[in-house]
Amino acid sequence: MNPLDFKQFWKPFRPNTRRFHEVFSHHKDFADLIKQTETMAYLIRSYAVYSMTCAALGHPGGSFSEADLLAVMYNYVLRYDPQEPKWPKRDVFYLSKCHACPGLYAAMALVGYFPIDNLTRYGAWDSHLESHPDSTTTPGIEISGGSLGQIPGVAVGRALGIRKHGPDEGDRMVYVLIGDGECNEGSVWEAFMAAGHYRLDNLVFIIDYNKVQAKGFVHMDMSVEPLADKLAAFNLHPWQVENGHNVAELVALFNTLHTQRGGKPNAIILNTIKGKNIQMCQYNPNWHTSAPRTVEVARLWLRELWERDGCRLGIPEAFHKALGEAIRIVPPVHENPDHIVEKQA
């Protein structure tokens, strides 16, 4: 089996990603939408393991917590065209927690922005898939990023600019995925305040509330609670998603949000699990920024993902085995140029 040939068991739900139309639970194609989206989330996690292990770097915790949301966005919600990334009528999606780009890159490869085998070179010197997204080299990335707290303000400016373009742009939306630890940054709250002031109802903030940040738990390092009340005080409409890994719940919420254009920005509090579906990673700050250290560990992770989701979704066991066997840790192109000394001069 070629593990990079995902089309043998998955394809995008929509034949035309330039259009959005609601699929409700009583529609005959609802079950297919849910299964296809859950399958995409499984593939996002699996290919993220593959790319991070090849690169010997990455952020598995946040990449796994966001996977179901990314699957819903790219398989159902967003209007875009991977063959024309700058299509003028597209919705805009920003990943503000840029360190979690292994999940985003996997999603974008699955929908056709670039070949899936590019994931092998994630983080390499000569790769277009930087360890933090680079809009100058990667199709479909709206802005380069890295420093937390900067992109929510960019999203506000983009939403304001789209609105000022006039009624022909009125249907376009801007979405930005923010980390919960990122909400410790004051610039995030400046963006919330500006969005509320300008009544940007074409803007949706999504907070990946996985409870863990780089060095510990959010509630211990710098609590953001009461988060919903704070968002409401900034004139945003908060929405609580009790289980951010429940694809059906996410689909229902975005169906509702398409009717919520009443002069307030929307903010989704997405309750998720850091490191979702890998037991050793779940709620574990040690796996915020550590890729699997060996191919053997990565293969165990891929097996666990298959046992949790792939098996029930009908993915053959041969897939995770072949993907694990395909992992090749890519060495640096250049030697370390720095001269090592015992102490600073």
Delineate the domains of the chain, giving CATH numbers in brackets: 28-326 (3.40.50.970)
H and E: helices and strands count for the chain: 11, 7
Q: What is the pLDDT of residues 163-179, one digit of tens each?
A: 999 999 999 999 999 99
Which runs of E-coded beta strand occur in 214-309? 216-217, 237-241, 266-271
What does 297-343 look like in DSSP terms, one character per residue?
HHHHHHHHHIIIIITTTT--HHHHHHHHHH--PPPPSS---SPP-SS
pLDDT per residue as tens digits for the range 132-157: 999 999 999 999 988 898 999 999 99
Reported as type and span, the H/E element at residue 255 is: helix 247-257
CA–CA distance, 324 with 333 (Å, rounded to integer): 23
| Mean pLDDT for all residues in the chain | 93
* pTM to 2 decimal places: 0.94
For the cut 80, the answer to whether the pLDDT of residue 332 exceeds it is no
Mean pLDDT of 89-98: 97
Angle between helices 30-55 and 295-305 (to 10 degrees): 170
Predicted pLDDT of residue 211: 95
Percent share of the chain, pLDDT over 90: 85
pLDDT at 344 over 60: no
Helix (H) or strand (E) holding 191: helix 186-197
Residue range 109-121, pLDDT digits in tens = 999 999 999 999 9
